[in-house]
Chain A
Amino acid sequence: MDNHINRPVPLDQHPLRLRKYRIPTPSIAAMRNLVDDCLFLYVTGATIQGRPRIGKSYAIEFMRRDLAQRYSKMSVYRVRCKKPQAPSENAFFSMLLNGVNHAAPEGSSRAALRGRLIHKIREVADKSGDHRVVLFADEAQNLREIEYEWLRDVHDELEMHELRLFVFLVGQPQLVAQKSAFQAQGKEQIVSRFMIEELHFQGITSAEACATCLSAYDHGDYPQKSGWSYTRFFLPQAHSAGLRMEQEAATLWDSFEDAHVRANLSGDLEIPMKYFTTAVEAALLIGMRHDATTFKFTHEFWAQMVNQSRYVLAQRAGRVLLTSIAA
């Protein structure tokens, strides 16, 4: 590594080093379009479902930041739905009060908790001056019918106070089954409010998607508009010689595919965001030690980085667990 490179910020303050950045993916782009359409057309809810560990929670965090950037006045909340033994109104409203950062999330009657939630959401919306309130419900497959009813009550009460609640239910594929069940039971009051739109959330499923994600490392500057892309920041000499992460998409995809096949993992390759970013971060941080104008990523290097990302281990662990549950 060349120590004489004059970077705009110290290495240990870079977001990649601190893991404080979010990379957009094609699925996140689709989710962003869906959220934008819902906000524009006042469609008050949508379901976003995908396999576990594929990057849905990562996408919610991306969307919260993206919405904060584009609609700075809009209230955006995130709650993580737990599955208690039996649905309880207290537990449900305490979860929502936690999500809206109320100082007293529990310890009162159900009516008090409900009132507290409505007042808090109203207060934040009034202060910011936007009547739209977005709620991302992570692990939404854990919600039961009665909890949807309570959520509907909140939605209706906020509407009475001239606020519009947009609920994005993000969860595992069981969400689709839940929607079908509600449709079959004629629970239109739930489906029409929260489940009209549907999005299948995927990991990285092709070399092209891989290239799109990698291009973010070439285009994104830190600090902003400094001309120091993520690639240039960690590999300045190689970057000056023309190295771009986007060009490595095919090799990286092949490396994941090789690992997938060699480990006998079933199904088509769908790289979860976590392992993808870990492999790229490892490539930039390890590659930095060998930075030179002649530096090139090789297939072996990428195979090593895929190994470093623990993709195969995690997939195997997940499958074994699923198999044992099925047995």
Chain B
Amino acid sequence: MVPNDKPLSANTTFWQPLTLELPAVPRAYCTRPEWSTCGESAWMLLSKFSWCNQLTITQIGRLFAKSAETPATDIDLRRADRINIDVMQRALGFSSTTMRFSFCVEKQHHRLWLAETELRYCLQCLHQGFHATVFQWRFITRCPIHKISLRTGCPHCGMAISYRLDSQLADSPLRCVSCRNLWVPLLDKPAGRCIPLAIAEAHVFKSWASYIAHAIGPAGNSDPTPIDPATGCFSEAHRKAQRAQQMKRFAYIATLNRLYPTPPQLQIESLNNHEIFMTASTISSQPDRHALPLPIWPQQQWRRFNAAFVGLEAILNSARNPLVDAAMSNAKIFRFKNHCIAAANALPITHAATLGWCMSWYGYHQPASILQSFPHPAFGLAAWLAHIPDRPIGMRRARWHVQITQWLHNDLANSWHTWHCISTFMHAHGKYFFHPMLSQPSDFAVAWQTTSQEFTSIAH
């Protein structure tokens, strides 16, 4: 800037009435949206808000609590329904997208217990002022960006950090209440600020959040009550056993988290990919209805799996056989060192896709199982059937059976294509990992609900 050397009397623009209206600046809290990243947890967003505005827990609670009934001074931050999201979004200056990824679940969810109530964090992320919502899920054990294990407790003294909006967060934001150690050392420096993640890194957390949301499913279902059948009373041992079983069910996500920086594609994304189904012609071959082979499993033990199921299983088998024959020609197919994990060079992508596809439709938990004969029906197919829409009123059984057969052909092809995409992704990252949950036939069946509604409306 150069000083105003010119005498003002000569400055004609100055000697004029000034009519500029100063913009009305509304009263606002101090917000730093530029310090945050999409995928950041509500705990971190509120901690930063608290750091900047130094409000008491009562003030924060009054500002963000959804209703007067909610204890405004102690709010579970895993659930979005305890917070007034609109107010929070306006006060913090974030987009609705950021807010969407800030909570583990939107409302009470039967699998919420899988999200930890104590803060789980990546030390490096925390040091730069970031904490992802996905870190709270117990099956996420490593930071996908820094590839280090997640931790709990104060990094300095080990004191537990609650994942709640409580007096600890308000009185001592981003600082341990016990040892006063600051968790984001950058903030203590002159002109200190948090460092947001790069767009690509933020995308990683968003994709994990979407994947987990799909894996845990929608809210509304409930796990069976842990009742001891012997006594008919609530049993803590049963509850623990149930939870251990649930944890085991989601262990595959922990393996994905360990092996890959991002989760593999969901089938929904794959279906949007209009590529040529490589095996479509093979899969769509019709079995000979008059020469249905007998199932290898004892029908007496599986009485509910009737002739119609056997017919559909025959379609599945007719699609499987040429694919498995081709895959079996590869000698390395069974060289799995660690159950379901294999090196990317162990087998070609198409054979890997076949393995995964078989595991999904037959309900195998080991890739090697595709060569063994199990005395049970194809569980993946059973799950698919359980999720297809009900037969519309007025539609004949024969016509409905034809419809289901068409859907099955379609889904077998789409499922293989999904597995091909997943295998390609895994091959690019150097390791294959096979698990039936990676592409579930039931997800394809659910997608037919819309078509079924059209049938119903036509029938009416």
Contact = CB atoms under 8 A, between A and B. Distances in A.
Interface of A: 15-16, 20-24, 29, 32-33, 36-37, 39-41, 62, 64-66, 68-69, 101-105, 107-108, 111-113, 115-116, 119-120, 122-123, 126, 160-162, 212, 215-217, 219-222, 230
B53 interface: yes
A33 B26 contact: no
Nearest to B53: A116
| Most chain A beta carbons < 10 A, residue from B51, B53, B54 | B54
B19 interface: yes
A161 B190 CA distance: 5
11 contacts: A22-B18, A24-B18, A29-B8, A32-B14, A37-B3, A65-B20, A68-B22, A120-B52, A219-B15, A220-B15, A222-B17
B55 A108 contact: yes
Interface in B4-40: 4, 8-9, 12, 14-22, 25-32, 34
Contacts of A24: 14-16, 18
A119 to B, nearest CB: 4
B56 interface: yes
B21 A20 contact: yes
A116 B16 CA distance: 39
A111 B171 CA distance: 12
Contact of A212 (B9, B26, B27): B9
A104 B14 contact: no
Contacts of B32: 123
Contact of B17 (A36, A101, A217): A217
Given A21-B18, A39-B1, A119-B52, A161 B191 contact: yes
Nearest to A14: B19
A126 B17 CA distance: 32
A162 B190 contact: yes
A216 B15 CA distance: 5
DSSP class of A's interface residues: helix, strand, loop or mixed?
Answer: helix
A185 to B, nearest CB: 31
Contact of B26 (A15, A65, A69, A101): A101
B17 A216 contact: yes
Contacts of B34: 126
A104 B190 contact: no
A43 to B, nearest CB: 12
A68 B18 CA distance: 11
A170 to B, nearest CB: 17
Contacts of B190: 160-162
Interface of B: 1-4, 8-9, 12, 14-22, 25-32, 34, 51-56, 59, 190-191
Contacts of A69: 18, 20
Given A21-B19, A37-B3, A103-B28, A32 B8 contact: yes
A277 to B, nearest CB: 10
Contact of B18 (A41, A65, A119): A65
Given A24-B15, A219-B15, A103 B27 contact: yes
Contacts of A103: 27-29
A123 B22 contact: no
Given A33-B4, A212-B9, A123 B17 contact: no
Contacts of A64: 22
A102 B29 contact: yes
A108 B17 contact: no
A122 B1 CA distance: 22
A95 to B, nearest CB: 14
Contacts of B19: 15, 20-22, 222
A116 B14 contact: no
A37 to B, nearest CB: 6
Given A65-B22, A104-B55, A161-B191, A212 B30 contact: no
Contacts of B8: 29, 32-33
B12 A62 contact: no
A123 B93 CA distance: 13
B15 A101 contact: no
A126 B3 CA distance: 25
Given A102-B28, A115-B54, A212-B15, 8 more contacts: A24-B16, A40-B3, A41-B3, A66-B18, A102-B27, A103-B27, A108-B54, A217-B17
A105 B54 CA distance: 11
Contact of B30 (A15, A16, A65, A120): A120
A101 B3 contact: no
Contacts of A161: 190-191
Nearest to B26: A101
Nearest to B56: A108
B297 to A, nearest CB: 68
Contact of A21 (B17, B25, B54): B17
Contacts of B56: 107-108, 112
A115 to B, nearest CB: 5
Contacts of B1: 39-40
A65 B21 CA distance: 7
